[in-house]
Amino acid sequence: MSDRAPGTQNERSGPSRSAALTRRQREVFDFVSGFVAEQGFSPSLEEIAEAFGLSSVATVHKHVKHLVDKGYLRKAWNRSRSVEPVPAETASESIQLPILGTVAAGRPIEAIEPDAAVAEQLSVPREMLPGRRDHFVLRVRGDSMIEDQICDGDFVVIEERKEARNGETVVALVDGDEATLKRFYRNGAEVRLVPANANMSEMEFHASQVEIRGVVRGLIRQF
């Protein structure tokens, strides 16, 4: 896959930062960087909006998305304050992971391909792979997770796990053969799979219908 050119993270594992920023994008980036340096954690979208006197969080989300796309900010998955600056210089080591199929960011569509030996490979920065668990990659289809900056055509890096904490973004098999990408919540025997799209409804299942296959740990975008 020599023609593959990941966007938000590339094979060098650091941002090229060759894309120009608008004045407002630069101001937002500088604010986020300074906030993290001073507070030790990322600002919320509401705090960014307040700092710039913006009434709409959607406007902040747009600026943040552009900064993520250009490699200046990254999504720290499954954390409430989840946008953080990408270091200008990071480790160059990457690892090849199998692309095990397509997962729906919408209604469930198809199962994960089980045979990693024949799968395509994608170069992924090692910093996306915490711990010693196995990882794999899935293509995303659909737009149910766009408010978490997961778009149609993206690749998600998955940490292979059979259990998840409430609020984590998971790959789940529904009724054994349909894969979907959603936020996971469990209350007793009830499981809710919740989209990050205000125009879509959550799905409810009995826990016996849902099998967790992994948790999202990173995002790679092509241009």
pLDDT score, position 166: 94
Residue 9 domain-assigned (yes or no): no
- Write out the residue range of the structural domain in which residue 66 sits: 23-85
pLDDT score, position 39: 82
SS3 call for 116 = helix
Task: Please give the mean pLDDT across all residues of the chain.
Answer: 79
Residues of the chain with pLDDT under 70: 1-20, 76-82, 88-93, 106-119, 130-132, 222-223
Cα-only R_g, the chain: 18
Task: Answer yes or no: do 106 and 178 share one domain.
Answer: yes
**144: annotated active-site residue:** yes
Q: Which residues pair with 137 in a beta bridge?
A: 99, 157
DSSP single-letter state for residue 92: -
Task: Answer yes or no: do 149 and 212 share one domain.
Answer: yes
pLDDT score, position 14: 40
Instruction: Judge if pTM exceeds 0.75.
Output: no
Instruction: Answer for the pair 203, 192: CB distance below 8 angstroms, yes or no.
Output: yes
pLDDT score, position 183: 95
**75: annotated active-site residue:** no
For residue 75, what is the domain's CATH number? 1.10.10.10
- Give the span between the Cα atoms of 47 and 35, in whole angstroms: 10
pLDDT score, position 131: 67
Residue 16 domain-assigned (yes or no): no
Residue that is last in its domain, among 35, 52, 85: 85
Q: How far is CA 102 from CA 52, 57, 118, 131, 222, in A?
A: 39, 31, 15, 24, 15
For residue 203, what is the domain's CATH number? 2.10.109.10
The string of pLDDT tens digits covering residues 53-95 is: 988 888 888 888 888 877 788 776 555 556 778 776 544 467 8
pLDDT score, position 145: 92
pLDDT score, position 19: 55
pLDDT score, position 88: 62
Residue that is last in its domain, among 60, 85, 110: 85
Backbone φ and ψ for 92, nearest 5 degrees, come out as: -95, -5
Name the active-site residue from 70, 82, 182, 201. 182
Name the active-site residue from 144, 162, 201, 208. 144
pLDDT score, position 5: 32
Please list, in sequence order, all residues whose beta carbon lies within 8 angstroms of the beta carbon of residue 22, skipping any fewer than 6 positions away.
66
Instruction: Answer for the pair 70, 22: CB distance below 8 angstroms, yes or no.
Output: no
How many domains would you assign to the chain?
A: 2
pLDDT score, position 223: 60
Mode of pairing for the β-strands spanning 135-141 and 94-104: parallel
Residue that is last in its domain, among 58, 85, 112: 85
DSSP codes of every residue in 19-87: S---HHHHHHHHHHHHHHHHHSSPPPHHHHHHHTT-S-HHHHHHHHHHHHHTTSEEE-TT-SS-EEEPP
Residue 15 domain-assigned (yes or no): no
